Structure 1
Amino acid sequence: MDAFIFLVLFSSTFLTTEAVKQYCGHGAPKIQFPFHIKGGQLQNSGPDHLAGFEVVCKDNTTITHFPSYGDLVVRSISYDDKRLNLLDPKNCVHEVFLNLDLSLTPFRYFYGVKNYTYLNCSSGLPSSFPEVPCLSGSGYHVYTVEPSMALPDSCRRVKTVAIPFQYSPYVSDNTFGLGLSWDVRPAGSKDSGFKYKTGCSNNVVSDKVLSISIFFLAMVVIAAIVTMKYNSKKICFSQDEEKHLIEAQK
């Protein structure tokens, strides 16, 4: 019976540890297919189908890395809507918009986008053109304008990109617009191998955890059977001994 109790406790502790690995910390989003934590168990793993979906745990924070920009914080994930909400640790969402290249990733902006041009100007434009403060500095001013706008003499075009919104001082939350959705394959890829599992996506269980669960369950059952047989033999031996003692007394 002691062996039985030990195996039950050990199995429960192990499975609880595996479940905790689905989170980077308290309040962090749950990580399940198609995402996975770097160094952790892959779910439904294949050669390339999780490329771009890897996250890293740093100081109980979930981080995802984009080569074209750098690290972004994963604020939340909605697996039903296939929506990834990100937060820029540099607190400059327009720096993300300006540099983030989603063309070779499985992601796209969740909301509709429109082309805007970023201008770098040596002198300030009229107040009707709000300056992007986190991109501007001493001696230069950055603006987002309609691509059709005539180029002022003091400005040069930096880049025209499709983004969710142009800069506005009324939009100060750097999470606004950093909602991404994912597809089964990245744009421009003939065969990425991405295979998004539909159905009970919120109840996906790691194959490894499931296999280990079955293994330990089998061990628990075997231990229980062995313990029961041992106790049964012990009772039989006791009864035989009692019978011999009674006969000897006669």
Structure 2
Amino acid sequence: MAVSLKMVVHSFCMVFLVMTFLIELGRGQNHCEEVQSCGRQPIRFPFRLKDRQSVSCGYPGFDLSCTQKGQTVIELPIPATFFVRKIDYKSQQIELYDPENCLLRKLLKDHNISASPFDFADSSNDYTLFNCSAIERNVGNGWIPCLSGPNYQVYALQSYFSIEQWPLVGCTKLFNRTGIPYDTYNKHHDNTLLLSWSEPHCGQCEADGTKCRFKNNVTRSETQCFRPKTKEDKSKKIVAAGASLGAFFLVVLVLITYRAYRSSKQEKENQLRIERFLEDYKALKPSRYSYSDIKRITNQFKDKLGQGAYGTVYKGKLTADFFVAVKILNNSKGNGEEFINEVGTMGRIHHVNVVRLVGFCADGFRRALIYEFLPNGSLQKYISLPDSDSFLGWKRLQDIALSIAKGIEYLHQGCDQRILHFDIKPHNVLLDNNFTPKISDFGLAKLCAKDQSTVSMTTARGTMGYIAPEVFSRNFGSVSYKSDIYSFGMLLLEMVGGRKNTDVTADNTSEIYYPEWIYNLLEEGEDLRIHIEEEKDAKISKKLAIVGLWCIQWHPVDRPSMKVVVQMLEGGDKLIMPPNPFGSTGSTKPRPARRMNLELEAIEEVE
């Protein structure tokens, strides 16, 4: 049972997305958990560890970081580093210490503790600092050892003390400082700074045995108490996630199996559909061949004639003197519609200007069509270079154009159902030994009733450069048999000009749309100057050009039917010029150059 690569890739992508979602969901639930890998003190809300926890895990201003030695550092609006010794979440106090053992020196620097969410837990005082050289070190408690040197001592005196109470002879006042925690200067002090915070108020949560966090993760101001999940809860969550993922994998597996079954069933239905069609088609007499027959007929696909969007064509031989062209259809194309289209359509056609279907192959997934072999190939190679030795002459080109028109008229009116080709172009017109044209390649054809004025289409079909405007946009009208007439008009103009390229000279450096250039030449009464040797050749080329311009009118209602086209080609040379189909492109018309060498835009296959 075959499963397409696209299906498998799609399913694995779904699995990957779900797994990623579950992982991210787990991260979203666990990324704010308590951290105990930095120092001895657990870190949790309102604090957060930078670079390990997101901003939403901590209250603003409660950022901590971790040194390489595992020490916890707090960020304060003081140009100094303080390490965390202890955090009391219940009383909402944090105990800091100075690693350099000179706490007062750091507090004497410019600081604004009020800019942080913390306050000094101890009462603060104003101090005056003195530099003394003659005083004994053991005098009083204000001596600051870490600020003193071998020949001088620094004292910090509370400002409300009278200077007479201290022997400050030989001392120099340094400066005053306000808001310094009491006893920070004391030499017996344990170098500890105690800070407290009032917001967020999480102490009650801690006292109740719960933890604190932002309320519903919505606001950054309101907090709430919550009970953290235990290891047992996490285990249950993991089991639930595993069960969900396992169920998802099971569903994906069932879906893949079902789609594989559906794909296989659809292919079998397609083959059955083709077999039923071929059973009904027996009365039309084309022979059916096996794939081994096809290999024998083509001599193991030795002589390749060409390749298109729907398959590759090889030359083959049914008998010693009867050659055929065998088109091997691409297996990847659709549900057999192209095969049924071609066989079913050509079974209804019996016309001298339509290529004859000799046989077919429908051997499992392998499908092929066998046509009569036309040795002169496609019309394309005879009109691409009108100035070369392969030019057929204007009389023969006129006969070919008229024969193609009759073939299309037969498709539109001569069968029980109207057949719309949708891919009329020189490449699909083949020439036999006598250069009689035969329309081929009906893979894009559609059948409709003769009284049906329009057909429905979901996507554009045909070859760029020959597709009628309404096939691309319904603003130009509905799709109908007039779409084939537009393609035939482009074919006629291509026969007239031979898909020439612009002659880039100093006087002419811009390209002009080729049909518009033809129209301008005719409108101004100038000859086409394209391989014209005699007056009658000029008349033929002018007739083909005028008919082509009638056929490429933008709106389908302005185009003639193929019956009228045949009459125009068979009639005299006094044809009326059609309305200018390029009038909406602008008021300024490009002047026809004397040696224009223009080409239709590059063509490519589209479905």
For 1:118 and 1:217, locate their aligned partners in 2 and report how far apart those are by CA, in whole Å. Answer: 66
For 2:34 and 2:92, locate their aligned partners in 1 and report how far apart those are by CA, in whole Å. Answer: 21
1:140 and 2:155 are equivalent in the alignment: no
1:222 alignment partner, one of 230, 244, 250: 244
* Other structure's SS at 1:115 match: strand
Which letter does structure 2 place at the counterpart of 1:144? A
C-alpha contact 2:83 2:98 (8 A) present in aligned 1: yes
Cα RMSD for the two superposed structures? 4.1
CA deviation after TM superposition for structure 1 residue 141, in Å: 1.6
For 2:131 and 2:182, locate their aligned partners in 1 and report how far apart those are by CA, in whole Å. Answer: 20
1:149 alignment partner, one of 131, 147, 162: 162
1:164 alignment partner, one of 161, 182, 187: 182
For 2:247 and 2:137, locate their aligned partners in 1 and report how far apart those are by CA, in whole Å. Answer: 84
For 1:57, the equivalent position in structure 2 comes to 66
For 1:117 and 1:24, locate their aligned partners in 2 and report how far apart those are by CA, in whole Å. Answer: 42
C-alpha contact 2:35 2:44 (8 A) present in aligned 1: yes
C-alpha contact 2:128 2:158 (8 A) present in aligned 1: yes
For 1:115, the equivalent position in structure 2 comes to 126
1:33 and 2:55 are equivalent in the alignment: no
Is the alpha carbon distance of 1:196 and 1:168 closer, same or farther for their aligned partners in structure 2, counting shifts above 3 Å?
Answer: closer
1:181 and 2:181 are equivalent in the alignment: no
For 1:61 and 1:15, locate their aligned partners in 2 and report how far apart those are by CA, in whole Å. Answer: 27
* Other structure's SS at 2:242 match: helix
Structure 1 residues 49-96: Cα deviation after superposition (integer angstroms, max 9, x where no partner): 51x311111021110133423111111111110100111011112223
For 2:241 and 2:66, locate their aligned partners in 1 and report how far apart those are by CA, in whole Å. Answer: 33
Which letter does structure 2 place at the counterpart of 1:222? S
* Other structure's SS at 1:70 match: coil
Structure 1 residues 118-152: Cα deviation after superposition (integer angstroms, max 9, x where no partner): 22234435732342110112443211213133265
* Other structure's SS at 2:96 match: strand
* Other structure's SS at 2:108 match: helix
For 2:101, the equivalent position in structure 1 comes to 91
C-alpha contact 1:34 1:43 (8 A) present in aligned 2: no
Which letter does structure 1 place at the counterpart of 2:153? H
TM-score (norm 1): 0.63
Q: How many residues align?
A: 204
CA deviation after TM superposition for structure 1 residue 28, in Å: 2.4
Is the alpha carbon distance of 1:111 and 1:63 closer, same or farther for their aligned partners in structure 2, counting shifts above 3 Å?
Answer: same
1:78 and 2:96 are equivalent in the alignment: no
C-alpha contact 1:116 1:166 (8 A) present in aligned 2: no
* Other structure's SS at 1:66 match: coil
For 2:103 and 2:55, locate their aligned partners in 1 and report how far apart those are by CA, in whole Å. Answer: 31
Indicate the structure (1 or 2) with the bigger Cα radius of gyration.
2
* Other structure's SS at 1:43 match: helix
For 2:57 and 2:129, locate their aligned partners in 1 and report how far apart those are by CA, in whole Å. Answer: 42
Percent of pairs with identical residues: 24
* Other structure's SS at 2:115 match: coil
CA deviation after TM superposition for structure 1 residue 98, in Å: 2.3
Which letter does structure 1 place at the counterpart of 2:43? I
CA deviation after TM superposition for structure 1 residue 14, in Å: 6.6
Unaligned runs of 5+ in 2: 1-18, 218-227, 253-607
Is the alpha carbon distance of 1:69 and 1:119 closer, same or farther for their aligned partners in structure 2, counting shifts above 3 Å?
Answer: farther
Which letter does structure 2 place at the counterpart of 1:33? F
C-alpha contact 2:94 2:196 (8 A) present in aligned 1: yes
1:43 alignment partner, one of 56, 74, 80: 56
For 1:205 and 1:105, locate their aligned partners in 2 and report how far apart those are by CA, in whole Å. Answer: 20
- Larger relative contact order (C-alpha < 8 A, sep ≥ 6)? 1
CA deviation after TM superposition for structure 1 residue 226, in Å: 4.8
TM-score (norm 2): 0.29
For 1:69, the equivalent position in structure 2 comes to 79
C-alpha contact 1:84 1:181 (8 A) present in aligned 2: yes
C-alpha contact 1:114 1:165 (8 A) present in aligned 2: no
Unaligned runs of 5+ in 1: 1-5, 185-194, 231-250
For 1:127 and 1:222, locate their aligned partners in 2 and report how far apart those are by CA, in whole Å. Answer: 75
CA deviation after TM superposition for structure 1 residue 198, in Å: 6.1
For 1:198 and 1:85, locate their aligned partners in 2 and report how far apart those are by CA, in whole Å. Answer: 16
Is the alpha carbon distance of 1:101 and 1:141 closer, same or farther for their aligned partners in structure 2, counting shifts above 3 Å?
Answer: farther
Which letter does structure 2 place at the counterpart of 1:200? C
